[in-house]
Amino acid sequence: MRNYISATARIYTSVPADEALERWAIMAVESNDVQERAEGAGALRHFPSDANVARLRRLLDDPGLLPTSEGLIYLVRIRAYDALSRIGVSVPEPARRP
């Protein structure tokens, strides 16, 4: 069984990469919360399917910004791009900063 490891704010969580995680990730990418959408995008890399690739592609234009010590970043776009790359889907790299 694969595990999904989430790394947000230097807190690590490991959970089974199973159907429950996929269901959660699909709901998470529709969240109003930027960090939750980003975590959902990261989790979807474990579930390559046409539907999930389409979900991740939509996130490449996500408007959500996250403040960091280096300025604002498009975290959801970054995670979606990483997930698509890991699945083997070639897409142009999105803007990381406004």
The answer to whether residue 47 is domain-embedded is yes
pLDDT at 32 over 70: yes
The answer to whether residue 92 is domain-embedded is no
Residue-wise pLDDT tens digits, 39-86:
999 999 999 999 999 999 999 999 999 998 889 999 999 999 999 999
**High-pLDDT (> 90) share of the chain, %:** 79
pTM across the whole model: 0.86
* List of residues 6+ apart from 56 with CB closer than 8 A: 29, 41, 44, 80, 83, 84, 87, 89
The answer to whether residue 95 is domain-embedded is no
The answer to whether residue 14 is domain-embedded is yes
The answer to whether residue 94 is domain-embedded is no
Number of folded domains in the chain?
1
Whole-number average pLDDT of the chain: 91
Sign of the Cα torsion 34, 85, 19, 55 reads positive
State the Cα–Cα distance between residues 47 and 61, nearest whole angstrom: 21
What range does the domain containing 36 cover?
Answer: 3-87
Q: How many CA atoms lie within 13 A of 37 on its CB side?
A: 25
pLDDT at 2 over 70: no
